[in-house]
Amino acid sequence: MQAIIDREVEDMEAAGVIETSHSAWSSPVVIVKKKDGKHRFCIDFRRVNNVTVKDAYPLPQVPLEPDSRPITAFTIPGRELFQFTVMPFGLHFAPAIFQRLLDSVLGPALELHVFVYLDDIIIISRTFEEHIKLLAEVFRRLREARLRLNPEKCRFCVGQLKYLGHVIDRNGIRTDSEKVSAVANWPEPTSVKQLRQFLGMATWYRPFIADFSKIAAPLTKPTKKSARWSWGETENDAFRVLKRTLISAPVLACPDFSRPFVLQTDASTDGLGAVLTQNYDGGKRVIAYASRTLNGAEKNYSAKELECLAVVWGI
């Protein structure tokens, strides 16, 4: 492990990512083994995170002001203290700052074709020629912002890719079978913590499921603070239906902004529902589903008021 640490430190120092430090701060180094067998060099910034302010905007290439560098200092056994000259991952405000940076660099002019989630950038195009032009523009903007890409992590001009638990290709967007298999094999929850974990995973695929909130309603009640843990036939039925629905989730169409969109909404005392579609020669294709339950005041609305609420919320 020491050899891995020494090699990483030497590489980062040579690249100007870190520098020697005389800081009163010091965080330990942690080596994490990745899925491919390689190792990731990490700093345990938990104590730093406890005394710094979070950034609530919805990384290692963001320069740090000299006054901010000492708090990133870390210890290497048998060597001097080091600190980062650019923002490292591990600080709880780092992801938000990096997301804001990339949103500024790549948007909003490219927002219909380029999607960014932290250090993941996806470019969607209709033709090879259009794709090359978009790539050139993205490269130009990243170069002007002095941001670098890791060639080993880049894939260019592919027909299909996995992105944030989804599979995207020319046919549309579908759930990643590997991720969904975890839902299919999820054991029956025996505690609020286990149920919340299941709902967290299931909610990620909410846009694929019509009436998600209605199906999941019996499962959300036991997770409320005022509720006692209770697991009966009603909860078990909802759990099984939600798992079955997730496994058979449809393929969603990628939105075509040159075509009109059709928004259909529905409302009842159980909640609100909406589905966004587009018409093609082969029929209607679903872009996304949405649903939610009613709050306390909304439960007193008349049928007409609920229908109007569904339209406003859907839009």
Residue 197 maps to which CATH number? Answer: 3.30.70.270
Which residues contact residue 126 at a Cβ distance below 8 angstroms, ignoring those fewer than 6 apart?
A: none
Boundary residue ending a domain (68, 93, 118): 93
Do residue 89 and residue 1 come from a single domain?
yes
Neighbours of 102 (CB within 10 A): 22
Do residue 188 and residue 224 come from a single domain?
yes
* CA count, 13 A, side-chain hemisphere, 257: 6
Task: Identify whether 164 is part of a domain.
Answer: no
What DSSP string runs through the chain?
-HHHHHHHHHHHHHTTSEEE---S--EEEEEEE-TTS-EEEEE--HHHHTTS-------TTSBPPGGGGGGG-EE-TTS--EEESBPPTTSTTHHHHHHHHHHHHHTTTTTTTEEEETTEEEE--SSHHHHHHHHHHHHHHHHHTT----GGG---S-SEEEETTEEEETTEEEE-HHHHHHHHTPPPP-SHHHHHHHHHHHHHTGGGSTTHHHHHHHHHGGGSTTPPP---HHHHHHHHHHHHHHHTPPPBPPP-TTS--EEEEEEETTEEEEEEEEEETTEEEEEEEEEE---TTGGG--HHHHHHHHHHHH-
Res 54: pLDDT: 59
CA 24 to each of CA 114, 138, 186: distance values in angstroms, whole numbers, following the listed order? 42, 40, 46
Do residue 260 and residue 214 come from a single domain?
no
Q: Are the C-beta atoms of residues 277 and 264 closer than 8 Å to each other?
A: yes
Task: Identify whether 165 is part of a domain.
Answer: no
pTM of the model: 0.64
Boundary residue ending a domain (61, 93, 125): 93
pLDDT tens, residue by residue, 107-161: 777 888 898 887 789 998 889 999 999 999 999 999 988 888 888 889 999 989 9
Task: Identify whether 162 is part of a domain.
Answer: no
Neighbours of 94 (CB within 10 A): 20
Which residues contact residue 129 at a Cβ distance below 8 angstroms, ignoring those fewer than 6 apart?
A: none
Do residue 206 and residue 262 come from a single domain?
no
Do residue 130 and residue 218 come from a single domain?
no
Q: Are the C-beta atoms of residues 110 and 138 closer than 8 Å to each other?
A: yes
Q: Which parts of the chain register pLDDT below 70?
A: 51-61, 90, 93
Bridge-partner residues for 172, per DSSP?
A: 169
Boundary residue ending a domain (199, 216, 248): 248
Distance between CA atoms of residues 115 and 164, nearest Å: 12
Res 4: pLDDT: 84
Task: Identify whether 99 is part of a domain.
Answer: no
Which residues contact residue 37 at a Cβ distance below 8 angstroms, ignoring those fewer than 6 apart?
A: none
The CATH code of the domain that includes 10 is 3.10.10.10
Find the domain containing 308 and state its range.
255-314
| Count of structural domains within the chain | 4
Res 47: pLDDT: 78
Nearest residue to 71 via CA among 112, 106, 23: 23
Nearest residue to 29 via CA among 77, 65, 67: 77
Res 164: pLDDT: 84
Res 57: pLDDT: 40
Res 58: pLDDT: 40
Do residue 139 and residue 76 come from a single domain?
no
The CATH code of the domain that includes 300 is 3.10.20.370
Task: Identify whether 13 is part of a domain.
Answer: yes
Do residue 261 and residue 243 come from a single domain?
no
